Amino acid sequence: MPDSPRTPGERPAGARAFDALTAERGILFGGDYNPEQWPRDTWREDVELMQRAGVNVVTVGVFSWAMLEPTPGAREFGWLDEVLDLLHAGGISVDLATPTASPPPWLGVRHPETLPVDPDGVRLVAGSRNQFAPASRVYREAALAITRDLAERYRDHPAVRMWHVGNEFGQLDYGDEAARAFRDWLSARYGTIEALNEAWATAFWSQRYADFDEILPPRRAPYLINPTQSLDFRRYTSDELRACYLELRDAIRDTGAHQPITTNFMGPFHHADYWSWADEVDVISDDQYPDPADPDAPADIAFAQDLMRGLGGGAPWVLMEQAISAVQWRGHNLPKTPARARLDSLQAVARGADGISFFQWRQSRAGAERFHSGMLPHAGADTEVFAGVCRQGADLQRLRPVVGSRVAARTALLFDWSSWWAADEPARPTTRLTTLEQVQRWYRSLWRRNVPVDVVAHGADLTGYDLVVVPHSYVLEPPAAAALIAAAEHGAQVVIGPFSGVADVNGHILQGRSPVQLRGLVGASGEEWAGLPDAGAAVDLAGLTVAGAATAGILAEKLRSDGAEVLASFADGDLAGRPVVTRNAAGAGSAWYVGAVLGDDLLDAVLAEALAAAGVDGIRPEPSAEAATAAVEAVRRGDALFLLNRGDTPAQVRVPGEWVDLLTDETTDNLVTIAPWDARVLMERHHS
């Protein structure tokens, strides 16, 4: 297994503080708690019901700025003192949030420059939330001031065991302060305007700049924007948001606060390159809202969870927000059954979470989230929802033995934000190929086989993996390409997906037969990427078995083998006879090259073959009389084996050895049954 960048022994102090918290309290369980929306007499009831449910930590204060600072410079901490004391007396710990995600209306009224501006030049106003311009100096000062005072006041409060900076950093701003900050960022990146002109290829369309002062964010323009300008603006935006986070985090630390500090990520969120944020949080935390109506949601959430584990170098993370039942922000919102909600939480624990938390504790009775579910619904505690919450609390207490343990994987999947941004810029061969969708399609195929996957950054050392998949890495910088070559040399099966290794760090197209840097590795090369007709194309197979249709569609490369074995080729159309999938012996391993967007069945066959060649497989349910494919997700975390059945029929899994189910204390051996919409968490019994 590759060494994790943070092996348990050498975790930084903030991460160790998180480990100490979970060692003391077990898996964290709770939700966002917004007592400011309620009269005081509900607070006591809240604490009692939290205790009943087994809640041990709540996030407080996320949207409390206007309550804490009702007029400029005022401080109203009394109510928060009371809330924290009450929670502490009830044995509930607090993840205390800086209220900085939503400034009070007075800030924008007095200082319009703190408000974000959209690409059309429209200034957004208060009345919703998140109305701040990340680059605004006045906003930053105001956010710092309230954060300092909050941290000074509560750093030693015994309830406060964690800090939560802002909320879901993701604001976009194209205003004048953003323009200034973007120029500073560019000047730091490029040094001279000549270097910028080179990187942005401004010889095109008369875009040459004489001075950094002429540069603007990619606001609305008559036609297509320079793609490198756009790419750099995305990089800048992620960095500016990160700077906001860092400033507030450091302000908390500077008061002497010793608790772990985090901010909640949003899975594969487009506007923040979390690889560059990950080392700055003491524990990775994430918000996940699978749509119960979407059959792919469990797989796509598993991807987000594996990404979170990857961001933390394998360390435990926190599921900071999820819904216990329905959300209110989709067009049509299906609730989760309590059984589904329970499996969603257990899935996160299986994939490395040591904290399970919800948005929110008590369902709002008013405001834009009045129809968003809460752990304590409008109907109160005498509900199936609340009974489900209590059951989850009890389950999680039983899972204490998994705290701190890790998931091991022999398969790596590459995922990178800059490449995603560059690939998804407009004006490309097809908009039907998008990075996230391709990554998710490849991941789902591995997930259906219960293959453990580490999601890794471009350039990470891959030499410990047996299988490395690159679903769609449009930009592969030289270190990332070198890591793929090294992985194959060390014996890995390396599978490279379509339209990968096409562009450089600036999004400029590499010159030569593609994939330019990896031609030697893949033993094949192409001269042109072209859209395929809507009907797609049939594929002939040589050395692959496909259960279903062998097709390709969307985009394909005019490819030739330069020595690689051809496993599949086009059966008809303009590309008839040309390779679609190739395999090349490379070092002790092989490199597979996929020169088209494959249909689901063919993609599945390629990955199955590569898994077999790598000797990697996942735990699979026994063939079942009742269901053609039993829907069991199986994940090994440390000594525990999580088996989650999202199917309507019982499923069975062969588990050699003797096991005890942590959820029920039942012992089991060899063949275990998982009831429909139920879970088993088996711990191997070691006989001494």
Candidates 45, 152, 168, 280; catalytic one: 168
Task: For residue 185, count CB atoms less than 10 angstroms from its CB and return exposed for 0-12, middle for 13-18, buried for 19 or more.
Answer: buried
Binding residue count for ligand GAL, defined by CB under 6 A: 9
Instruction: Indicate the residue among 287 and 477 with the shorter CB distance to ligand GAL.
Output: 287
By beta-carbon proximity to ligand GAL, the closer residue of 68 and 199 is 68
Q: In whole angstroms, how close is the CB of 520 to ligand GAL at the nearest point? A: 46
Contacts of residue 223, Cβ cutoff 8 Å, sequence gap at least 6 = none
Query: In whole angstroms, how close is the CB of 266 to ligand GAL at the nearest point?
Result: 7
Q: Is 287 in the site for ligand GAL (CB under 6 A)?
A: yes
Spatial distance between the Cα atoms of 141 and 157, rounded to a whole number of angstroms: 25
Site map for ligand GAL, 324-363, x if CB under 6 A?
Answer: ---x-------------------------------x----
**Residue (282 or 287) nearer to ligand GAL, CB:** 287
**Nearest approach, Cβ of residue 495 and ligand GAL (Å):** 34
Nearer to ligand GAL, 168 or 296 (CB): 168
CB of 374 to ligand GAL, least distance (A): 10
Q: What is the 3-state secondary structure (H, E, C) of 56-91?
A: CEEEECCCCHHHHCCCCCCCCCHHHHHHHHHHHHCC
Q: Which of residues 645-684 bind ligand GAL (CB under 6 A)?
A: none
| Strand partners of residue 679 | 644
CA pair distance 169, 173, nearest whole angstrom: 12
| Active-site residue (options: 177, 240, 321, 557) | 321
Q: 262 near 165, Cβ under 8 Å?
A: yes
> What is the chain's alpha carbon radius of gyration, rounded to the nearest angstrom?
26
E strand map for 149-263: 160-164, 261-262
489 is catalytic: no
User: Does 97 contact ligand GAL by CB under 6 A?
Assistant: no
Instruction: In whole angstroms, give the CA distance from residue 605 to residue 546.
Output: 5
Helix 176-190 to helix 227-254 angle, to the nearest 10 degrees?
100
Q: Pick out residues in 156-185 that bind ligand GAL (CB under 6 A).
A: 167-168
Those residues whose C-beta lies under 8 Å from the C-beta of residue 264, and which sit 6 or more positions away, are: 164, 167, 168, 285, 286, 287, 320, 321
Helices 193-200 and 176-190, interaxial angle, to 10°? Answer: 100
In whole angstroms, the minimum distance from the beta carbon of 359 to ligand GAL comes to: 4
45 is catalytic: no
Q: Is 269 in the site for ligand GAL (CB under 6 A)?
A: no
Instruction: Tell me the residue nearest to ligand GAL as measured from the CB.
Output: 359
Considering the rule CB under 6 A, would residue 286 count as an interface residue with ligand GAL? no
Report the distance separating Cα 35 and Cα 49, nearest Å.
Answer: 14
Residue 263 or 419 with smaller CB distance to ligand GAL: 263
d(CA 552, CA 225): 31
**Separation of alpha carbons 568 and 551, rounded Å:** 10
Q: At what angle do helices 297-311 and 338-350 cross, to 10 degrees?
A: 30
For ligand GAL, the closer of residues 357 and 525 by Cβ is 357
Q: What is the closest distance, in whole angstroms, from the C-beta atom of residue 97 to ligand GAL in the complex?
A: 10
> Would you count residue 372 as binding ligand GAL (CB under 6 A)?
yes
User: Please, which of residues 307-326 interact with ligand GAL by CB under 6 A?
Assistant: 321
Terminal CA-to-CA distance of the chain, rounded, Å? 27
Strand pairing class (317-321; 285-287): parallel
Residue with smaller CB distance to ligand GAL, 228 or 357: 357
Question: Can you tell me the distance from the alpha carbon of 619 to that of 654, in angstroms, rounded to the nearest whole number?
Answer: 8
Give bridge partners of residue 30 from the DSSP assignment. Answer: 57, 357
Kindly tell me which residue out of 190, 212, 269, 289 binds ligand GAL, with binding defined by CB under 6 A. 289
Determine the residue type at 34. N
Residue 655, classed as helix, strand or coil, is strand
Which two three-digit tokens encode residue 9? 């022994």
Which is nearer to ligand GAL, 372 or 406 (by Cβ)?
Answer: 372
Angle, alpha carbons 213-243-93 (nearest 5°): 160
What letter represents residue 15's amino acid? A
Question: Looking at beta carbons only, is 321 or 395 nearer to ligand GAL?
Answer: 321
Binding site for ligand GAL (CB under 6 A): 167-168, 287, 289, 321, 327, 359, 369, 372
Catalytic residue set: 168, 321
